[in-house]
A and B are shown apart, each in its own frame.
Chain A
Amino acid sequence: EDQVTQSPEALRLQEGESSSLNCSYTVSGLRGLFWYRQDPGKGPEFLFTLYSAGEEKEKERLKATLTKKESFLHITAPKPEDSATYLCAALKTSYDKVIFGPGTSLSVIP
Chain B
Amino acid sequence: DAGVTQSPTHLIKTRGQQVTLRCSPISGHKSVSWYQQVLGQGPQFIFQYYEKEERGRGNFPDRFSARQFPNYSSELNVNALLLGDSALYLCASSLARQGGNTIYFGEGSWLTVV
Q: Do residues B42 and A102 form an inter-chain contact, with CB atoms below 8 A?
A: yes
**Contact call A32/B100, Cβ cutoff below 8 A:** yes
A89 at the interface (CB under 8 A from B): yes
Q: Is the CB of A43 within 8 A of B90?
A: yes
Q: Number of A-B pairs whose CB atoms are under 8 Å? A: 75
Given contacts A43-B105, A43-B107, A44-B105, contact A87 B48 (CB under 8 A): no
- Minimum Cβ distance to chain B for residue A24 (Å): 14
Closest-CB distance, B53 to chain A (whole angstroms): 10
Please, how many angstroms separate the alpha-carbon atoms of A99 and B4 in the complex?
20
Closest to A101 in B: B42
CB atoms of A36 and B105 under 8 A apart: yes
The residues of A that contact B33 with a CB separation of less than 8 Å are 96-98
Residues on A with C-beta less than 8 A from B101 are: 32, 91, 96
- Whether A42 and B56, one on each chain, are in contact in the complex, defined by CB atoms closer than 8 angstroms, is no
Q: Chain A contacts of B104 at CB under 8 A?
A: 46
CA distance A95 to B31 in the complex (A): 9
